[in-house]
Chains A and B, each alone.
Chain A
Amino acid sequence: MAGQSFDYATEAFDMIDLLDSLASPEEVVDAVARSFTLFGFETFIITGLPHPRESFEQVVLLRKWPIGWFEIYAKYDYIRSDPIIRLCKTTTRPFEWSEAPYDRAEEPKAAEVMDRAVDFGMREGFCLPIHGINGYEACFSMSGAHLDLSPRTKPAVHLMAMYAFERARQLLAPNPQSGAKILTPRECEILVWAANGKSAADTGDILGITERTVTAHIASACQKLEAVNKTQAVARALQYKLIGL
């Protein structure tokens, strides 16, 4: 019904406008909880996706999760086997938890995450993947026992989640490039050329800078990635999705 979808839209726009005035992460959690409860969501988490050397707790931005579940999830490092997280990495579109594929027989740990979540009332869910620049990846995952998800409600939830994520990121990262800190755009650019078989001299010619500068960028990238040489730096940058080909 048109009237009803108009209400979702109003709710979404009001919530987005409100976010700007919120001064703390706790206020953002409360605002999200208030709006999302209208759609049946009881719990949610906003988290970055950890690189292999980061832990789950290090990358969580905001959460309204059952405390027991958070502890179990961290203890068993479920983020590395969670099918929701896995799908986040390969899509930019929001999806329902039931759309995230996994093989119950072949991936017992994936099945375990999904089953144990249900024990905490997280039966159905919806997830928004975030793909920033310079390889920054995050997700906003929300759940409840009975969700009101339809082609009418999803766009409103999608939009609110996107803006709540942004507000959380601003409030929690005074340095707005927190995700970009890993490698500078120039370092990424140079590693991409290296991945394409270019020497430091070739790359210098292409970018109009000296070979020495290129080498300095590569050295800096090696240090950040804890790589012993350019080859390993390229491999790690690809592995962590800091660069693509």
Chain B
Amino acid sequence: MNCADGQEIDVYDNESAIYLLAIDRGRVVGGQRLYPTHAPHMLSEVFGHMTQRGIPRAQHILEWTRYFVVKERRVGRTDCRLLAALQQFCLEEGVTGVTAVVEMWWLPRWHQVGFKVRPLGLPTLIEDQPCIAAEIEISEASLDQVRKLAGLHAPALVRNGRMRPLIDRVPHVAA
């Protein structure tokens, strides 16, 4: 992602977004964003043409975007740790699946770490790269497998402060 002033913000960087960050000694070395699918989100607003099989939308399904790892950490375990944090966070919050758009070359990596990935459409070129919209299942089995590859014995997630339970964040409709 290019960002001249060190900041790159889009309309989904708002109070509904959740960020899971990889922090090493106070420095952010990777991160990812989760966003509700019951609200307008990137898959529904921008990448709808990539979802011939429909867009899964529910309180317990989040959209997974803005995944990154800083360059010098792309070899090693940072990827696996971020992926483990994703599974653990979703399991703890009662989330059953996440949707994402990624470059196709990510698929074998996800498979290798034990993620169950359901394509939502055929690969489509984005900026000349074949990309795909997919839904990833959240499961204990996937968390176990990715934790193993991440070499994690401790939890994959550290929570600073308290967060309102995710499912309760859904705006209530007056009866």
Which A residues fall within an 8 A CB radius of B? 6, 8-9, 12-13, 16, 92-94, 130-133, 136, 138, 155-156, 158-159, 162, 165-166, 169, 176-177, 179-180, 184-186, 188-189, 192, 243-244
Contacts and interface: CB of A to CB of B under 8 A. Distances in A.
A110 to B, nearest CB: 25
Contact of A243 (B52, B75, B123): B75
A162 B151 CA distance: 26
Interface of A is mostly: helix
Q: Is the interface of B mostly helix, strand, loop or mixed?
A: mixed
Interface residues of B, number: 31
A36 B130 CA distance: 20
Given A165-B108, A166-B108, A158 B123 contact: yes
B66 interface: no
B53 A13 contact: yes
A186 B81 CA distance: 12
Interface in B133-175: 145, 148-151
Contacts of B74: 244
A185 B151 contact: yes
Interface core residue of A16, A92, A131, A133 (most chain B CB under 10 Å): A133
B105 A9 contact: no
Given A133-B79, A176-B114, 8 more contacts: A93-B104, A93-B105, A158-B104, A159-B104, A159-B122, A166-B108, A189-B75, A189-B77
Contact of A133 (B113, B119, B148): B113
